[in-house]
């Protein structure tokens, strides 16, 4: 939902408007800006909630406070109840953030449950910017001597400012008076190291129900939309579970559920997604990806995700083709991101290094906290490249708490215990048995993107590991070459999620 730009200090309004224009793709429905003292707020809107009245910058009834936000506040109805409906003038979920901050100041951030990056100025001209705990929604900043700039994407910044750009840390807020402050943790603080499982791989219905109920609630909370919502259906376990819950919700509310799958002709993902869609009775769409499609989408994908990591690029190409098609039919989609990190779905989790339960638990916590550098960046950029919002129910705060409270022994593989067995058992009967027991495939592999990209990659000149850039293989060198062409000599640091000139 949308893109934001903000500036505080010695503001150059023309520069700010240029920054906003560079992320117009994130919000094609409307543009707004406000200057208040030495603060400038800009917004590109993707209209999802209260299409008619939810324009931004949003202001309170007396016109003394202003807010721009990117994302969704899933508990906005509860906030309305707590603060009183008399304060609210629209049905927009972002208005809940505006009034929470107006009433409580920075402490109001604790009320917000959802994915967001926001900038707020109060009646005294005090400025605050904040990002959600996991960094589901992107935010970058550049701190110059006389002004601090914020934007939803790296490309928004002027080339002269890009060497200064950093990823704004998730779970933090910043103000001139208080500086950078952590207001929430990616992993809920009340999670304790999981107790030992007496019988690893054996669980009762109570545990299965807690997992199932938390995920069902998270999906249903993310079905809110005034303009239609769909599901990206890869044919894997995680997206199939999301689709199954969404399909039940859609039936109860007498609304259609579009599902979207992409892959090369004959790919395993297309076939599996078709099985799920027929089982659930969804309004299913397939995009058959050719080598020519992949080659044409490759530079667009590298530019969109602002990265050249091979695994990200391989999955970004089909994601981008899927988003281009789906965006003409819905404004928001649900995806299965996060399940592998919470329930140990990747094969490397089960290698020797993480054979110890405590080591596995620590690695799961680490990778969940680092998602904003990689998969969430790809998920956000490929959908927002076509003005469509992606929602990630597995990364709901309650789901994270439940999943990381499970004894790690229950997530380890062994004789008769496949990866994510607990998650599979929790949703037995919800999806076809063949999908429930389908083995893990990376999206770039299952969709066929890895194969169809091979020819495109061979045609791109390789770049030697010069200029201080470590390139791990010919594939990454090819993607880096595209990166250099598309992003004007700016490269991401793979581990820190920061950006620097080459």
Which residues are annotated as catalytic?
A: 2
DSSP result, 396-426: -HHHHHHHHHS-GGGG--BTTB-TTHHHHHH
Q: What's the maximum distance between 2 C-alpha atoms anywhere in the chain?
A: 66
Instruction: Tell me whether the omega of the peptide bond preceding residue 33 falls within 30 degrees of 0, making it cis.
Output: no
Is 309 known to sit in a ligand binding site?
Answer: no
Which residues touch 163 (CB under 8 Å, ≥6 apart)? 500, 501
Is the Cβ–Cβ distance between 133 and 186 less than 8 Å? yes
Is the Cβ–Cβ distance between 99 and 79 less than 8 Å? yes
Which tokens belong to 377?
């960046």
Is the Cβ–Cβ distance between 13 and 127 less than 8 Å? no
For the range 86-89, what are the long-range contacts, defined as Cβ-Cβ under 8 Å and sequence gap of 24 or more?
Answer: 87/60, 87/61, 89/53, 89/61
Which residues touch 11 (CB under 8 Å, ≥6 apart)? 35, 38, 39, 40, 147
Q: Is 281 left (phi over 0), alpha (psi -120 to 50) or beta?
A: left
Helix (H, G, I), strand (E, B) or coil at 79: helix
**Strand-pair partners of 131:** 117
**Strand-pair partners of 263:** 288
Is 262 known to sit in a ligand binding site?
Answer: yes
- Report CA-CA distances (Å) from 491 to 255, 303, 494: 44, 11, 9
Cα dihedral 154, 170, 312, 164, rounded to 10, equals 30
Determine the Cα–Cα distance for residues 364 and 372; give it in Å rounded to an integer.
Answer: 14
- The strand pair at 66-73 and 39-45 is best described as unpaired
* Count of C-beta atoms within a 10 Å radius of residue 498: 13
Determine the Cα–Cα distance for residues 232 and 247; give it in Å rounded to an integer.
Answer: 13
Which residues touch 226 (CB under 8 Å, ≥6 apart)? 47, 48, 49, 50, 51, 91
- Binding region for ATP: 262
Q: Which residues are annotated as a binding site for L-glutamine?
A: 93
Binding site members = 93, 262
């Amino acid at each position: 939902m949308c893109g934001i730009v903000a500036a505080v200090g010695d503001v150059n309004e023309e520069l700010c408007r240029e920054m906003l224009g560079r992320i117009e793709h994130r919000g094609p429905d409307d543009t707004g800006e406000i200057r208040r003292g030495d603060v400038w707020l800009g917004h590109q809107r993707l209209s999802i909630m209260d299409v008619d009245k939810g324009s931004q910058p949003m202001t309170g009834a007396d016109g003394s406070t202003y807010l721009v936000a990117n994302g969704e506040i899933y508990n906005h109805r509860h906030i309305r109840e707590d603060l009183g409906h008399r304060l609210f003038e629209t049905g927009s979920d972002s208005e809940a953030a505006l009034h929470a901050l107006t009433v409580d100041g920075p402490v109001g951030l604790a009320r917000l449950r959802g994915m967001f990056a926001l900038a707020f100025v109060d009646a005294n001209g005090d400025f605050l910017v904040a990002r959600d705990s996991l960094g589901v929604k992107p935010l970058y900043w550049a701190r110059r001597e006389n002004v601090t700039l914020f934007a939803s994407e790296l490309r928004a910044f002027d080339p002269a400012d890009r060497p200064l750009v950093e990823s704004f840390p998730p779970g933090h807020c910043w103000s001139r008076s208080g500086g950078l402050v952590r207001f929430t943790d990616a992993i809920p603080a009340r999670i304790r190291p999981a107790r030992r499982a007496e019988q690893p791989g054996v669980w009762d219905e109570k545990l299965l129900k807690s997992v199932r109920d938390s995920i069902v609630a998270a999906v249903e909370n993310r079905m809110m939309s005034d303009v239609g919502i769909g599901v990206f259906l890869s044919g894997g376990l995680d997206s199939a579970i999301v689709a199954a819950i969404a399909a039940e919700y859609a039936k109860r509310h007498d609304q259609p559920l579009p599902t979207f799958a992409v892959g090369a002709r004959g790919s395993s993902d297309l076939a599996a997604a078709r099985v799920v869609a027929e089982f659930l009775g969804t309004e299913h769409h397939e995009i058959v990806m050719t080598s020519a499609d992949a080659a044409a989408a490759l530079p667009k994908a590298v530019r969109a995700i602002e990265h050249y990591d091979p695994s990200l690029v391989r999955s970004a190409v089909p994601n981008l083709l899927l988003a281009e098609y789906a965006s003409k039919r819905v404004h928001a989609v649900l995806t299965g991101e996060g399940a592998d990190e919470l329930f140990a779905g990747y094969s490397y989790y089960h290698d020797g290094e993480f054979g110890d339960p405590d080591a596995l638990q620590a690695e799961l916590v680490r990778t969940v906290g680092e998602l904003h550098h990689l998969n969430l960046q790809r998920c956000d950029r490929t959908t927002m490249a076509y003005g469509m919002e992606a929602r990630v129910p597995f990364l709901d705060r309650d789901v994270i708490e439940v999943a990381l409270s499970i004894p790690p022994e229950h997530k380890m593989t062994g004789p008769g215990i496949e990866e994510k067995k607990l998650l599979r058992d929790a949703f037995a009967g919800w999806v076809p048995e063949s999908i429930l027991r389908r083995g893990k495939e990376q999206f770039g592999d299952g969709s066929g993107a890895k194969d169809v990209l091979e020819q495109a990659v061979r045609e791109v000149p390789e770049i030697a590991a010069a200029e201080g850039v470590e390139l791990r293989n010919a594939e990454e060198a090819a993607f880096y070459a595209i990166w250099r062409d598309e992003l004007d000599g700016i490269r991401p640091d793979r581990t820190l999620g920061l950006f620097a000139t080459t």
